[in-house]
Chains A and B, each alone.
Chain A
Amino acid sequence: MIDSEAPLEFGFETRAVHAGAAPDPATGARTTPIYQSVGFVFDDVDHAQSLFNLQDFGFIYGRITNPTVSVLEERVANLEGGRGAVACASGHAAQQLALYPLMQSGDEFVASRYLYGGSITQFTHTFRRFGWQVAFADPGDEAAVRAAITERTKCLFVESLANPGGIIVDVERMAAIAHEHGIPLIVDNTMATPWLHRPFEYGADIVVHSLTKFMGGHGSSLGGVVVESGKFDWFASDRFPAMTEPTPSYHGLRFAETFGDFAYTMKVRADALRDLGPALAPQNAFHILTGIETLPLRMERHVANAQAVAEYLEQHPAVAWVSYAGLPSSPYADLAEKYFSKGPGAVFTFGVRGGYEAGVRLVEHVQIFSHLANIGDTRSLIIHPASTTHNQLTDDQKIAAGAGPDVVRLSVGLETVDDLLRDLDQALGGV
Chain B
Amino acid sequence: MEPIPYSDSYLRGILERTRVIAMVGASTNVRRPSYFAYKYLRERGFRVIPVNPPAAGTDLLGETVVADLESIDVPVDMVDIFRRSEEAGVITDSAIRIGAKTVWMQLGIRNDEAAARAEAAGLNVIMNRCPKIECGRLYGELGWGGINSGLFSNRRRPLRTRTKLT
Alpha-carbon gap, A402 to B151, bound state (A): 44
Residue numbers in B under 8 Å from A10 (CB-CB): 152
Kindly specify which of A22-30, A236-244, A311-319 makes contact with the partner chain. A22-30
- Contact, CB under 8 Å: A46 / B164: yes
- Contact, CB under 8 Å: A19 / B152: yes
Q: Is A39 positioned at the interface, with any CB of B under 8 Å from its CB?
A: no
Known: A67-B144, A74-B149, A83-B147. A56 touches B8 (CB 8 A): no
Known: A5-B7, A25-B157. A266 touches B164 (CB 8 A): no
Alpha-carbon gap, A55 to B34, bound state (A): 10
Q: Which residues from 22 to 67 on chain A have a C-beta closer than 8 Å to any C-beta of chain B?
A: 22-25, 28, 43-44, 46-47, 50, 53-59, 65, 67
A269: min CB distance to chain B, Å: 7
Kindly specify which of B69-77, B89-97, B118-126, B134-142 makes contact with the partner chain. B134-142
Task: Tell which of B30, B40, B133, B153 touches A2, judged by Cβ atoms closer than 8 Å.
Answer: B153
Number of A-B contacts (CB under 8 A): 133
Residue numbers in B under 8 Å from A44 (CB-CB): 164
A320: min CB distance to chain B, Å: 46
> Binary interface profile of B, 33-69, with partner A (CB < 8 Å = 1, else 0)?
1011001100100000000000000000000000000
Residue of B nearest to A257 (CB): B33
Kindly specify which of A84-92, A143-151, A178-186 makes contact with the partner chain. A84-92
Known: A59-B144, A84-B147, A269-B145. A25 touches B40 (CB 8 A): no
Alpha-carbon gap, A328 to B69, bound state (A): 69
Task: Tell which of B7, B143, B159 touches A74, judged by Cβ atoms closer than 8 Å.
Answer: B143
Residue numbers in A under 8 Å from B152 (CB-CB): 1-2, 4, 7, 10, 14, 18-19, 22
Q: Is A262 positioned at the interface, with any CB of B under 8 Å from its CB?
A: yes
Task: Tell which of A4, A7, A24 touches B156, judged by Cβ atoms closer than 8 Å.
Answer: A24
Task: Tell which of A71, A74, A252 touches B147, judged by Cβ atoms closer than 8 Å.
Answer: A74
Residue numbers in B under 8 Å from A265 (CB-CB): 145-147
Q: Is A211 positioned at the interface, with any CB of B under 8 Å from its CB?
A: no
- Contact, CB under 8 Å: A70 / B8: no
Q: Is A20 positioned at the interface, with any CB of B under 8 Å from its CB?
A: yes
Residue of B nearest to A72 (CB): B146
Alpha-carbon gap, A59 to B146, bound state (A): 12
**A side interface size, CB within 8 A:** 56
For the complex, would chain B's binding face be called helix, strand, loop or mixed by DSSP majority?
loop
Residue numbers in A under 8 Å from B144 (CB-CB): 57-59, 65, 67, 70
Known: A47-B162, A57-B136, A257-B33. A22 touches B146 (CB 8 A): no
Alpha-carbon gap, A23 to B154, bound state (A): 6
Alpha-carbon gap, A265 to B148, bound state (A): 11
Alpha-carbon gap, A65 to B152, bound state (A): 21
Most chain B beta-carbon contacts within 10 A, residue among A28, A53, A86: A53
- Contact, CB under 8 Å: A4 / B164: no
Residue numbers in A under 8 Å from B151 (CB-CB): 1, 4, 7, 22
Q: Which residues from 1 to 24 on chain B have a C-beta closer than 8 Å to any C-beta of chain A?
A: 3, 5, 7-9, 12
- Contact, CB under 8 Å: B146 / A86: yes
Known: A1-B153, A4-B8, A50-B43. A269 touches B146 (CB 8 A): yes
Residue numbers in A under 8 Å from B43 (CB-CB): 50, 56
- Contact, CB under 8 Å: B148 / A1: no
Most chain B beta-carbon contacts within 10 A, residue among A59, A65, A84: A84
A54: min CB distance to chain B, Å: 8
Alpha-carbon gap, A82 to B39, bound state (A): 28
CB-based closest 7 A-B pairs: A7-B150, A73-B146, A57-B141, A77-B148, A22-B153, A84-B147, A1-B153
Q: Provide a sorted-by-A list of 29 A–B residue pairs whose CB atoms are within 8 angstroms.
A: A1-B153, A3-B8, A5-B7, A7-B148, A7-B151, A8-B150, A18-B152, A22-B140, A22-B152, A23-B154, A23-B155, A23-B157, A24-B156, A25-B140, A46-B164, A50-B39, A56-B43, A57-B136, A57-B141, A58-B141, A59-B144, A65-B145, A84-B148, A246-B31, A258-B36, A260-B108, A260-B133, A262-B147, A269-B146
Q: A7-B151, A22-B140, A246-B31 are in contact. List 17 more A-B contacts (CB 8 A).
A: A1-B154, A6-B5, A7-B149, A22-B151, A22-B154, A23-B155, A23-B157, A44-B164, A55-B35, A56-B43, A57-B142, A78-B150, A82-B148, A84-B148, A86-B146, A251-B30, A269-B146
Binding site for A on B (CB under 8 A): 3, 5, 7-9, 12, 30-31, 33, 35-36, 39-40, 43, 107-108, 130, 133, 136, 140-157, 159, 162, 164
